[in-house]
Amino acid sequence: MCVLLIEAFYGGSHKQLMDLLQEELQEDCVLCTLPAKKWHWRARTAALYFMQTVPISPNYRILFASSVLNLAELTALRPDLGKLKKVLYFHENQLVYPVQKCQERDFQYGYNQIISCLVADVVVFNSAFNMESFLTSIGKFMKLIPDHRPKDLEEIIRPKCQVLYFPVRFPDVSRFMPEHKLAHFEKVIGAKRSGDAYQTVVLPGQQKCRALMKTSHAASKSGLCEAQPRLHTTQHEGLPSPLIAVARLNKSEASESTNPCQEEDKQHLTFNLSNILSGQGYQQRPLHIVWPHRWEHDKGPETFFEVLLKLKEKDLPFHVSVLGEAFSEIPDIFSEAKKALGSSVLHWGFLPRKDDYFQALCMADVVISTAKHEFFGVAMVEAVYCGCYPLCPKALVYPEIFPAEYLYSTPEQLFKRLQNFCKRPDIVRKHLYKFYGIRCFSPVLGICGCQNARIKQGTTGHQFPMEYIVGPVTVCKHPI
């Protein structure tokens, strides 16, 4: 069996998922990609590009692609690919994606995703919120068509749909953590310190599952699409797991930021990072707030900075790190807020090295989301793993992932929570995050969509091992 992996926007979480699948499948896959640039053009024209560059092979059995690709166009242009079992993965959906200015061309992106679902055999979403918001919006969305509208599309697509939470990988961040976080880390993860290292604690019943996962891991390279010159592979240690997977991450550096607004802050970032790791005792430092999101309007930066400036006006002590990547168009609020926040800023800008990024998260106390849209929220999950107290909107995907005590309904509620934490930072530094049970799945199931396979939902209890978080799962190896 050979799986054809196609990613029209090979960057961020899209790249992370493809790399994980490629690692799991090893020599049984071919990966074809386009660089993560000019998203709108990728959504419009990627099918034509892949028509010419995907190698013809009689060995393909499955086609796995993200919803950026117009799958209907590709399968029409390449009838040989239309015969495969087609799996479509939704990182986000365009039916509820917020736009600053509605234009006629925006209809095309949602329309592409709908017709892609119609030709797919299995449609996978990274959260229930993503799936339900897409399916329940189809009817309203199609009313934008002036006349002769298609009917019952939701009923046709829904039976194909399922939720498989996005698998998140982490390095061992214990070396970056202040002492109070290390104590919490040991309680939550179930790890035991031995000198400067940590030993994995395996819970009862997990030995068999871990052994099963490891047997599928051999050190060999996957087949690549030779026609794609910018394609490269990333090898990871460890294995994919369910909602959250904890594994050792390679120390490879991400591509350097080319944004001049962030380039000028590199020395500033390093200098402040060294300052926070020395000097004044950690428990005596002001509350450290982190915002680790893309510098774009859909992440709600205006709300975040309005709340911080209100804290500043009341002379409440806090530090802030504004991480995340910026692109060609940066909302004006970022430059305005940086100036207004002044000495409260510890970090400002994208940290391309993963170690620097996780170190900054480990030194923070509270992580904030003010997103107007979120279908999973990898950055928030990463920050919580690094010991940050999360504050998220009581909307979107967040109630699906985070317990109610970490959710707020209005900016005023967010302000009041942060005001209290600024006065008493020890509250969050003593807090032990309350995890939900972790639901497990096998990537093989997501690829094959086999009706004979069943996921057994369960939890691992109140402790999680450090290397992997695993639980009862049936791995499908059923031939298609």
Q: Could you count the other beta carbons within 10 Å of the beta carbon of residue 289?
A: 27
Mean pLDDT, the chain, integer: 76
pLDDT of residue 1: 67
* CA–CA dist 215, 445 (Å, integer): 17
pLDDT of residue 453: 29
- Are 150 and 117 within 8 A, CB to CB? no
Burial of 354 (C-beta count, 10 Å sphere; 0-12/13-18/19+)? middle
* CA–CA dist 356, 312 (Å, integer): 27
Instruction: Note the pTM of the prediction, 2 decimals.
Output: 0.73
pLDDT of residue 469: 25
pLDDT of residue 189: 61
What are the tens digits of pLDDT across the range 281-325? 666 899 999 999 989 898 999 999 999 999 999 999 999 999 988
Burial of 27 (C-beta count, 10 Å sphere; 0-12/13-18/19+)? exposed
pLDDT of residue 99: 65
C-alpha distance from residue 315 to each of 286, 306, 312, 364, 428 (Å): 12, 14, 5, 20, 20
pLDDT of residue 100: 57
* CA–CA dist 384, 366 (Å, integer): 9
Angle at which helices 354-363 and 266-276 cross, to 10°: 50
Q: With a cut of 50, which residues of the chain have pLDDT below it?
A: 192-279, 436-480
pLDDT of residue 281: 63
pLDDT of residue 169: 77
Identify the DSSP state of 59. T
- Are 319 and 286 within 8 A, CB to CB? yes
pLDDT of residue 336: 97
pLDDT of residue 79: 98
DSSP letters, 421-443, are HHH-THHHHS----PPPPP---H
- Are 312 and 344 within 8 A, CB to CB? yes
Phi first, then psi: what are they for 60, rounded to 5°? -60, 135
